[in-house]
Amino acid sequence: MGFVKPTSELLHRLNRAVASPRLKFAAILAADILGLRHLIVRLDPVNGCNLRCGMCFFSDPGWRSEHMKGRFSKEEIERLAGMFFNGALQVHIGCAMEPTMYRDYPWLVELAKAHRVPFVGFTTNGQMLTREGLERMVTADLDEITVSTHGVTKQTYEKLMDRAAYDRLHAALVLIDQVKREKGATAPRLRINYTICPDNLDELSAFFDVFGGYDISTIQLRPVADFGSTAYTNKDLAPHLPRYNLAIERMAAACRARNITLLANRIDPAHSKPNIAATVYKEGLLRYLNPNVVWRDDFDWRTSDYRHHKRRIVWRRQLMRRLWQPQRDAAPSHQAVFEVL
């Protein structure tokens, strides 16, 4: 039997299949004790973005003045890779920031693959993606590239994604298909990330009229979240749930007809319910690496080692406590509970 890559879709299915948060925390504890790969590492190499998307905190001048600073050096990333990549099941490059703003961004993929990470993803708005950079990432066996678009039409796309050009988006999608074809590669798989808000919801009905020519493997429909004082203010999907559910149903049928995996949130699109799945993910699996914070505020990664810090804070005891109180601190979260449809 061949090795099955731990794709996001597979992990979502496993998450849904194992309902008990106690069992999930027990599995995390066992993997930590046995030294098995289980971490989901999200790396933002630079605190910056070339866009000012209305639904994102980058459209908030106050947030930018406080957070938009700092970048890792290559030496710092190599140090972090030595700590985290060997325990990672997945490494995702680009989380809350734009990774193509890091000068040698293909090197990040090459480094993760050098550490034999089973699944490496790269998330971008595509506006600064270059042929040379993409060719290097394809050669390095990047598993998935996620391109964000928050509109189907040019007018909506450029309105919601300030500073982005609709033509550059499509040029990037064409480039991805071209480079894969030229190299005879099936990877990276292409994922489209579409953040749904009341103003772009109805455009989903025309999605495949515009994007149907691209080799898309996965579509992720992400409900708008409230990130504070952003430029876009119409963030409440609750009054629009009948339209939302109908749009999801139609997209699911269209994706099934095209053999495309659809990830969508039908459970709590308004982000109003306690989210125990987000607690398991954030407390047990996620290691977020950002120039301003690595994993936890109490971790001084420049002078301390990850394993040493886990011993110092008695990390396994914290996981054991979660076995008895798995829903402690569970609260509504902007991290959506996705289903594979």
Kindly state the average pLDDT of the residues 234-259: 95
Q: What is the pLDDT of residue 14?
A: 72
Please state, in angstroms and rounded to a whole number, the distance separating the CA atoms of residues 271 and 259: 29
- Any idea of the CA torsion for 322, 325, 331, 336, to the nearest 10 degrees? 50
Contacts 24+ apart (CB under 8 A), 66-75: 67/292, 69/291, 69/292, 70/46, 70/290, 70/291, 70/292, 71/45, 71/46, 71/47, 71/102, 71/291, 72/45, 72/46, 72/289, 72/291, 74/104, 74/107
For residue 76, pLDDT over 90 is answered with: yes
> Going from the N-terminus, what domains does the chain have, and what CATH number goes with each?
8-340 (3.20.20.70)
For residue 2, pLDDT over 80 is answered with: no
Q: How confident is the model at residue 276 (pLDDT cuts 50, 70, 90)?
A: confident
- Cβ contacts of 308 within 8 Å, gap of 6 or more: none
Reduced to 3 states (helix: H, G, I; strand: E, B; else coil), residue 26 is helix
- Residue 40 DSSP class: E
For residue 267, pLDDT over 70 is answered with: yes
For residue 102, pLDDT over 70 is answered with: yes
Reported as a single tens digit per residue, the pLDDT across 127-162 is 999 999 999 999 999 999 999 999 999 999 999 999
Reported as a single tens digit per residue, the pLDDT across 215-237 is 999 999 999 988 888 999 999 99
Task: Please name the residue that has the structure tokens 């053999």.
Answer: 259
Bridge partners for 294 per DSSP: 289
